């Protein structure tokens, strides 16, 4: 009997799929029988992903904040594998280096950069996928990367207010499109991690006070930073037929962040 999480004959575009959370998910989707297209900004990483993931992976370089990149990635999925069944939008990150942070200190550049990185890119990829799903006429699924900071803030250690705004907006946007396109059998959901090992988490990993807070705030499994593979089963669930009756939902994969007090004031 075929598992409901079997991805055989399913094609998924992963925006931001050449490293970290996106690459780990790509590997799990291929292990489950699927085919993937991964996007990233670096050709070397694209080449490495294709070498490691094999013949059921294609890659394309692009800036996720440009609408043409999402359109090119969807076109590659269709040309390489004949269709598109799902989108996993992982691309995004911190705008701290460009001026995000506490609102009274946020720069205009920080606002624009963080909105482009985390929200505009997501809107463009979702639009491109929805257009392809409608053209195919047989439904599809979108999974957007959120964050617990979109609705469960950390007032001191993780006070990046524009980032939080983008992740909150991602939830509202996803619920809105889930509502509208349900009649077309198009589903849209959000996965919301807490602190997970990635380039974005390097600042926190180097600060012992923050890491002590994380050990209290994410107490599962001994209290630790999440690993990319901690999200993989949830991603496969949402992108497979196992979640065929689920849309407009937010799943926190957070080690207990949203149900633990933590207290980050030193």
- Is residue 263's pLDDT more than 70? no
CB atoms within 10 A of CB 152: 18
163 occurs within a structural domain: yes
65 lies in which domain range?
Answer: 11-196+228-253
201 occurs within a structural domain: no
- Is residue 4's pLDDT more than 90? no
Residue-wise pLDDT for 123-139, tens only, equals 999 999 999 999 999 99
Residue the block writes with tokens 């589903």: 187
Radius of gyration, alpha carbons of the chain: 18
**Residue 2's pLDDT band (cuts 50, 70, 90):** low
Task: Taking residues 116-120, report their average pLDDT.
Answer: 98
Longest dimension (CA), the chain: 57
pLDDT of residue 256: 98
164 occurs within a structural domain: yes
CB atoms within 10 A of CB 261: 7
Q: Rounded distance, CA 14 to CA 34, Å?
A: 12
Task: Taking residues 233-258, report their average pLDDT.
Answer: 98
- Is residue 1's pLDDT more than 80? no
For the chain, helix (H) and strand (E) counts, in that order, are: 9, 7
End-to-end, the C-alpha distance of the chain in Å comes to: 54
117 occurs within a structural domain: yes
DSSP state letter for 226: B
Q: Rounded distance, CA 205 to CA 199, Å?
A: 10
- Is residue 65's pLDDT more than 60? yes
Number of domains in the chain: 1
177 occurs within a structural domain: yes
Residue-wise pLDDT for 9-28, tens only, equals 999 999 999 999 999 999 99
pLDDT of residue 265: 54
Phi, psi of 256 (to 5 degrees): 105, 5
- Is residue 266's pLDDT more than 90? no
218 occurs within a structural domain: no
**Residue 264's pLDDT band (cuts 50, 70, 90):** low
- Is residue 193's pLDDT more than 80? yes
215 occurs within a structural domain: no
Catalytically active residues, by annotation: 163
Q: How far is CA 188 from the centre of its chain?
A: 12
Residue 183: give its domain's CATH number. Answer: 3.40.50.720
30 occurs within a structural domain: yes
- pTM of the predicted protein model: 0.96
């Amino acid at each position: 009997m075929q598992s409901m999480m079997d991805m055989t004959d399913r094609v998924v575009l992963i925006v931001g799929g050449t490293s970290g959370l996106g690459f780990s998910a790509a590997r799990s989707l291929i292990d489950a029988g699927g085919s993937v297209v991964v996007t990233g900004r670096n050709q070397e990483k694209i080449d490495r992903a294709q070498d490691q993931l094999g013949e059921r992976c294609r890659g394309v370089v692009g800036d996720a904040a440009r609408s043409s990149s999402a359109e090119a990635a969807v076109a590659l999925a269709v040309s390489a594998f004949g269709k598109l069944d799902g989108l996993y939008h992982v691309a995004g990150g911190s705008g701290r280096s460009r001026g995000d942070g506490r609102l009274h200190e946020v720069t205009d550049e920080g606002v624009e950069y963080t909105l482009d990185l985390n929200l505009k890119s997501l809107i463009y990829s979702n639009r491109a996928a929805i257009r392809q799903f409608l053209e195919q006429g047989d439904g599809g699924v979108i999974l957007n990367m959120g964050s617990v900071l979109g609705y469960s803030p950390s007032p001191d250690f993780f006070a990046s207010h524009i980032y939080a705004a983008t992740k909150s907006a991602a939830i509202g946007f996803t619920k809105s499109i889930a509502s509208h396109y349900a009649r077309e059998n198009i589903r849209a959901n959000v996965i919301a991690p807490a602190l997970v090992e990635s380039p974005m988490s390097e600042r926190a990993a180097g600060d012992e006070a923050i890491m002590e807070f994380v050990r209290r705030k994410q107490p599962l499994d001994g209290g630790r930073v999440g690993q990319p593979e901690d999200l993989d089963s949830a991603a496969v669930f949402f992108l497979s037929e196992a979640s065929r009756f689920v849309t407009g939902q937010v799943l926190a994969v957070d080690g207990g962040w949203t149900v633990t007090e933590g207290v980050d004031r030193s």
